[in-house]
Chain A
Amino acid sequence: MAFLENLINGISLGSIYAVIALGYTLVYGIAKMLNFAHGDVIMVGGYVVFNAIVKANLNPWVSVALAVVACTVLGITIEKVAYKPLRKASSLSVLITAIGVSYFLQNMALLVFGEKPVTFTSVIDIPKISLFDGKVVIKGETTAAIIASILIVIGLSLFVNHTQKGRAMLAVSEDKDAAQLMGINVNSTISLTFAIGSGLAAIAGVLLCSSYPILSNTTGAMPGIKAFVAAVLGGIGSIPGAMIGGITIGVIEILGRAYISPQLADAIVFAVLILVLMVKPTGILGKKINEKV
């Protein structure tokens, strides 16, 4: 029974990773860069909700909406200020910049929101579910994370495949220059991608902090990296891949924590990454990218 509970918790954590992984996968697919700062946008989202509820006494739903808006604006700003000037630069420069942005957000948060971690109050009021005469209890946060991630993955797939803007994103991810020639505004498409990814990061932040309520300036870093692992595992660039990868990583982490060693859970997740890269570097649903000669 404990196993079942752990499994469900793993799926729930994995669902949150999936939502974060979507941001990585979209940006990687379209801007061909690893947005290191993505995890830290989650943290900013968490702080916005926390302050909106605790300090400004706003309604939880309004706070979440506020966080989504704030993170979207933040994502677009990061792209415009830090990444856009480097569109033609080497991937090494872009990567270092992204690390710089990530580090900036973490340390800015330290100054703005304080050094002391805060305790996040859950915004979710779904009742808990008891199964098998209360032997298995599923918390409302757990249910919410799973449902939210399923809705997001479905919604995003529909958006990408069936709207004009979504198809423009596909075109840019396939071939930036060709897309430009076809009249697609590449810059605004990249901005849109960052906007969507960051908005999702805000939601992920709320879900994450509701389940794991300690919020500090580095809250987003580890989940961010693990979500990237999830995106790689599922196949970078693939939306359903992010979901599969996310849930796999979440389950591995929770089961590893419960049955192998709590201190080594992170190490196990990273070992999985190294293993995947050795066996199938393109991930479960990924495709090979050929370089032009």
Chain B
Amino acid sequence: MALLEVKKLGISFGGLRAVDEFSIKIEKGELYGLIGPNGAGKTTIFNLLTGVYKPTDGSIILDGEDITGKSTIQINHAGIARTFQNIRLFHNLSVIDNVKVGLHNHYKYSAGTGVFRLPKFFRTEKEMNKKALELLRVFDLEGEAYLPASGLPYGKQRKLEIARALATQPKLLLLDEPAAGMNPNETAELMNTIRFVRDNFDMTVLLIEHDMSLVSGICERLSVLNFGQLLCQGETSEVLSNPEVITAYLGE
């Protein structure tokens, strides 16, 4: 059974059909790419998958559970975590606290326990710190753990966002243009990190990307979106050599 199965997903804003009849099947452990020209509706699909927008048609099944129309919070609990195209960190919190907010629903103690500093507080916080540092180490952010998140350079902010998403222990990770604004070295490093995450965290990844070196380098399969509709999908090499895709990207 596929981990994510989306059937005929659609949404209209006013009269505009932003996404229409979008279907996709992602297997567990896959690295899947969603590409397409600007304004094709890629981020809208992410917003639909994560419940920021409620779809007008279609269904979303995650690991056998129907999550269509659920709230962002419920969907995160069901197992989807994401990053944002325009980075959305908790900028006044420290780097490690950003990750600890991600761990929120897996390491619990009540507000009262925190206020009265009961033993469980110290125990849980210690475990949280350990786990958060572990995650930061994966992204080479351990050294900056106690700096404010807003002080990180751009590339590291993107990484921190991925670390925070992973902290929620998702089944499916959505990355919205993870390489945007990175130089080729950073992109290459990011590719390794994404592969590492997939292999070591048993993760399934769906990513939106414009950087073709990244897409062709790590994605196993691709879906191409144009004007809110699916243009084609399949193995990466096949899709990228498809004349229709080339036309859509380069125009005529």
Which A residues fall within an 8 A CB radius of B? 293
Name B residues whose Cβ lies closer than 8 Å to a Cβ of A: 43, 47, 52, 84
Question: Would you give 4 A-B contacts (Cβ < 8 Å), ordered by A?
Answer: A293-B43, A293-B47, A293-B52, A293-B84
**Which residues of chain A are within 8 angstroms of B47 by Cβ–Cβ distance?**
293
- Closest Cβ of chain B to A181, distance in Å, is 16
Q: Name the CB-closest residue of A to B72.
A: A293
Min Cβ gap A89→B in Å is 15
Give the residues in chain A near B43, CB-CB below 8 Å: 293
Report A-chain residues with C-beta under 8 Å of the C-beta of B52: 293
A293 to B52, CA, bound (A): 8
Contacts of A293 in B (CB 8 A): 43, 47, 52, 84
* CB-based A-B contact count at 8 angstroms: 4
Once bound together, how far apart are the Cα atoms of A224 and B47, in whole Å? Answer: 39
Q: How far apart are B19's CB and chain A's nearest CB, in angstroms?
A: 14
Q: Which residue of A lies closest to B43 (CB)?
A: A293
CB distance from A288 to the nearest CB of B (A): 12
How many angstroms from the CA of A189 to the CA of B235 in the assembled complex? 52
With both beta carbons as reference points, the residue of chain B lying nearest to A291 in the complex is identified as B52
CA distance A200 to B48 in the complex (A): 44
Smallest Cβ distance from A232 to chain B, in angstroms?
Answer: 24
Q: Give Cα A293–Cα B43 distance, bound, in whole angstroms.
A: 9
Bound CA span A83–B135, Å: 43
Complex CA distance for A55 and B11, rounded to whole angstroms: 65
* Distance between Cα atoms of A293 and B84 in the complex (Å): 8
Q: Closest CB of chain A to B205's CB: distance in Å?
A: 20
- B199–chain A nearest beta-carbon distance, Å: 30
CA distance A23 to B165 in the complex (A): 44
Nearest to B44 among chain A residues (CB) is A293
B90 CB to closest chain A CB (Å) equals 14
A293 to B13, CA, bound (A): 14
Q: Give CA–CA (A293, B47) in the complex, Å.
A: 8
A-B pairs with lowest CB-CB distance, top 3: A293-B52, A293-B47, A293-B84
A94 to chain B, nearest CB (A): 18
How far is it, in angstroms, between the C-alpha of A113 and the C-alpha of B251 when the chains are bound? 69
Inter-chain CA distance A293–B50, complex, in Å, is 11
Docked CA distance A293–B82 (Å): 12
**Nearest-CB distance from A205 to chain B (Å)?**
40
Chain A min CB distance to B207 (Å): 17
Minimal beta-carbon separation of A139 from chain B (angstroms): 48
Closest chain-B Cβ to A92's Cβ sits at a distance in Å of 13
Kindly provide the distance from the CB of A245 to the nearest chain B CB, expressed in whole angstroms.
26
CA gap between A293 and B46 in the complex, in Å: 10
Interchain nearest-CB distance for A290 vs B (Å): 8
* Closest residue on chain A to residue B46 by CB atoms: A293
CA A44 – CA B43 in complex, angstroms?
50
Closest Cβ of chain B to A32, distance in Å, is 19
Q: List A contacts of B84 (CB < 8 A).
A: 293
Q: Which partner residue on chain A sits nearest B53 by CB separation?
A: A293
Nearest chain A residue, comparing its CB with the CB of B84: A293
| Distance from B18 Cβ to chain A, minimum over Cβ atoms (Å) | 12
User: B153: shortest Cβ distance to chain A, in Å?
Assistant: 22
Complex CA–CA separation, A293 to B53 (angstroms):
10
Chain B residue at smallest Cβ distance from A292: B86
- Nearest CB on A from B174, distance (A): 12
A66 to chain B, nearest CB (A): 46
Q: How far is the CA of A136 from the CA of B84 in the complex (A)?
A: 65
Task: Name the residue on A nearest B50 (C-beta).
Answer: A293
